[in-house]
Structure 1
Amino acid sequence: MVTTSGRADASRRGTRRASISDVAQQAGVSLGTVSNVLNRPDRVSEATRDRVQRAIEQLSFVPNGSARTLRAGTLTTVGAVLLDIANPFFTEVARGIEDRLGQDDHTLMLASSDEDPVREHRYLRLFEEHGVLGVLVTPAEAEIDHLLALQRRGVQVVLLDRRSPSPAIASVAVDDVAGASMAVTHLLGLGHRRIGFINGPSTIEQCVDRRAGMLRALTTAGLDASAMVEVEVPFLNADGGEAGATELLALDDRPTALFCVNDLTALGAMRTLRAHGLRIPQDVAVVGYDDVNFASMLTTPLTSVRQPTHELGRTAADLLLRAANGLAEEPAHVEFQPELVVRASSVGADGGGTA
């Protein structure tokens, strides 16, 4: 018997999600007929299709995409594990991933490792259990044996914002050594000879590369490592920047400029400088890294190294899809070049800086 309203059935089910069996019972048809309406509607008469569609609407039925994918033998979901999705840099990277996947009707499952290798491993395991087509990963540690093993099990892997140490895994990155070198060369050109460096954990390759870039700039200028005053903070966020700046300001011979490993740490550092009554850039110049969307909107706009964030995500997703579709003969390794965007945090309104 066909029920005229799904409300009573829904009440009996409580909050349970309606199944294809519920739809069949509601419409008074077989499970096969409902399946045909969902997947092969041309095989069902118009009157029957209408009856099944009414049942679907009454029950608020949503087809199980995972089950349908498994039956069809195709995978359309891609996972991404990024260091910190609260960071605007990674938010824009995720938009690039999503835009590329959307072109091929693929969906994105997004997770944040919070720079924690254990958390990263857990999300990768969950993604694999969900049967994703592949994963895009910004690793929280230098070692990638777990990613190589994942790819050997049939899950495509692309490293994102990280050069691949293995030719077997594709990667998309930015030349962070060059970017950091640009930033520090800019500060040296303004006359600074004692530069504080607020850096993150050495397990993160970006932190290692940006340190190398700073040392390169000092060497090129004929200076030694003593011109760099480095503090390592555990987290690459504003709290980390505040802690790093506080430590540097406590020195007897404090730096006249700060280079921060990313824009969030720069934001925290600038807060600390202002809390201590210091002017930016007259007393202490500040340069960040990433050029996220808020960098130009601060009270003192932030000088920063710009990365092509959207293109990073889009390119990584494209590499993964090409590999998954058999269009790539071997893993590709793409490296973008950054650019320095100079603003008032390092160069004052008069166009000059102070050391």
Structure 2
Amino acid sequence: MRAASIKDVANHAGVAVGTVSNVLNYPDRVAERTRARVLDSISELGFVRNDVARQLRAGHSRTIGLIVLDIGNPFFSSISRAAEDAAAKSGNAVVLGNSGHNTGREQHYIDLFEEQRVQGVLISPVSDTSARLAALAARGIKVVLVDSPSSEGQFSSVSIDDVSGGYMATKHLLDIGRRRVAFVAGPQQFHQVTDRLAGAQRAVLEVPGATLEVLQASDLTVLAGREVGDALVERERELLPDGLFCANDLLALGVMQSLTMLHTLRIPQDVALVGYDDIDFAASAVVPLTSIRQPTTLIGQTAIELLAEQLETPDAKPRSVVFKPELIVRASTAQ
């Protein structure tokens, strides 16, 4: 059965096609009795507006593209949920793309969102995509970087001061008397990892006799953390770090599993452990995890606000918002 068209509705209601269009888009322009008659016809015929066609005519849609690094990480799922809630308040929808740390998939989603004529793209980039994103902006699709600063101020961005967070985490380990500190790093192509390491290095330099070892993890996942933990327990006790700062909570939880559930090291007695992100699982871990909290709800909401600013004032200069992280102390570093 053929779907009812806007012309069918007009004929059924005995009005012009333009009147039906006004009822759908500018109802205040139509007399109440006429509007009611058109709405009755829409209901009776089961008419659904062709929003795709409308978007093509307008040149954009009511959707916003969001590309995250890893939707399996609760940090990004929390940001996505906050962005979705904020967008819904203005009648927009967020369409999610998960790059999975893969530049090819990231490029695919950028292309797809451009084809769909989204209002804007929010993105946590895998690598430097500034040229591709600049091409998007030149075509009228606004761009906001999420969990990543804009190095040249080219785009609006919302991020965290990760150098400060890395310093905070490491200083906490030093303040509780740990001197052989190790940083469990994920792939250092991500500025978040290198910034957190830079903060850790700064904290260690302030304490005479303190050392910092970098332990390279293969990824930013629980499994990668377990691999690091398995390698640590093969060491002689005197060669073990007494404080571990992990680049994110997933790594920290993996290390914790290896050290405590599969082996004989105690947290925090033998090794104090700090994560980063303060995901929900941190507080409910077998040893509640000390972590650096990032305001994920604020990050998601602010990304939508920055996009709205760009849409409302196309000539507005890009704006950068940087949040400060917060140390949340739990049993994994308790004295």
TM-score (norm 2): 0.88
1:63 equivalent in alignment to 2:49: yes
Distance in 2 separating the partners of 1:297 and 1:228: 28
Choose which of 89, 100, 104 in structure 2 pairs with 1:118: 104
Aligned equivalent of 2:180, options 174, 194, 205: 194
2:217 equivalent to 1:230 = no
For residue 154 of structure 2, the aligned residue among 165, 168, 171 is: 168
What percentage of aligned pairs have identical amino acids? 41
Q: C-alpha offsets along residues 217-260 of structure 1, whole Å, 9 cap, x if unaligned?
A: 11111357xx2222222321111211122223333312222111
Are positions 1:83 and 2:80 aligned together? no
Greater shift in the superposed pair: 211-220 or 44-53: 44-53
**Measured at CA, do residues 98 and 299 of structure 1 come closer, stay the same or move farther in structure 2, by a change above 3 Å?**
same
Displacement of 1:131 in angstroms is: 0.1
Correspondence for 2:332: 345
CA contact (8 A) 1:198 1:259 kept: yes
Which of these residues, 307, 310, 324, is aligned with residue 297 of structure 2? Answer: 310
Corresponding residue number in structure 1 for 2:202: 216
Shift of 1:49: 4.1
Return the offset for 1:329.
2.7
Q: Partners of 1:217 and 1:48 in 2: how far apart? A: 69
Tell me how far apart the structure 2 counterparts of residues 297 and 174 of structure 1 sit (CA, whole Å). Answer: 24
1:242 match: 226
| Residue 268 (structure 1) aligns with | 254
> Per-residue CA shift, 1:147-168, capped at 9, x if unaligned?
2232223211111111111222
Q: Deviations over 1:281-324 (max 9, x none)?
A: 11221100011122112221110001111101111111111011
May I ask how many residue pairs the two structures share in their alignment?
327
Note if contact 2:61-2:116 (Cα within 8 Å) is conserved in structure 1: no
Question: C-alpha distance in 1, partners of 2:37/2:86?
Answer: 39
Does the alignment pair 1:183 with 2:169? yes
1-structure distance, mates of 2:6, 2:314 = 40
Letter in 2 for 1:247: A
1:156 aligned to 136, 139, 142, which one? 142
Judging changes above 3 Å, is the alpha-carbon distance between structure 1 residues 300 and 26 closer, same or farther for their aligned structure 2 residues?
A: farther
**CA distance in structure 2 between the aligned counterparts of 1:255 and 1:326, rounded to whole angstroms:** 52
Q: Which amino acid aligns with 1:244?
A: V
Which residue in 2 is equivalent to 1:6? none
Post-superposition offset of 1:277? 2.2
Q: Which moved more, 1:68-77 or 1:227-236?
A: 68-77
Partner secondary structure for residue 187 of structure 2: coil
Paired residue type of 2:294 = Q
Range moving further from structure 2, 140-149 or 171-180: 140-149
Give the CA deviation at 1:19: 5.9
Q: Which runs of 5+ in 2 are unaligned?
A: none
What residue number does 1:287 align with? 274
* 1:65-106 Cα distance to aligned partner (Å, 9 max, x none): 222233345532111101111211111111221232222211
Letter in 2 for 1:264: L
Q: The residue matched to 1:80 in structure 2 has which SS?
A: strand
- Give the superposed CA RMSD: 2.6
Gaps of 5+ in 1: 1-8
Moved more, 320-329 or 134-143: 320-329
Following the alignment from structure 1 to structure 2, what is the Cα–Cα distance between the partners of residues 327 and 143? 21
3-state SS in 1 of match to 2:178: coil
- Structure 1 pair 240/25, CA: closer, same or farther in 2 (3 Å)? farther
1:50 aligned to 35, 40, 46, which one? 40
CA-CA distance at 1:174 after TM superposition: 0.7
Alpha-carbon offset, residue 108 of structure 1 = 0.7
The verdict on how the C-alpha distance between 1:46 and 1:290 changes in structure 2, with shifts beyond 3 A counting, is closer
Report if aligned partners of 1:20, 1:31 keep a CA contact under 8 Å in 2.
no
Matched, 1:137 2:123: yes
TM-score, scaled relative to structure 1:
0.83
- Pair 1:20-2:10 in alignment: no
Contact 2:13–2:37 (CA<8 Å) still a contact in 1?
no
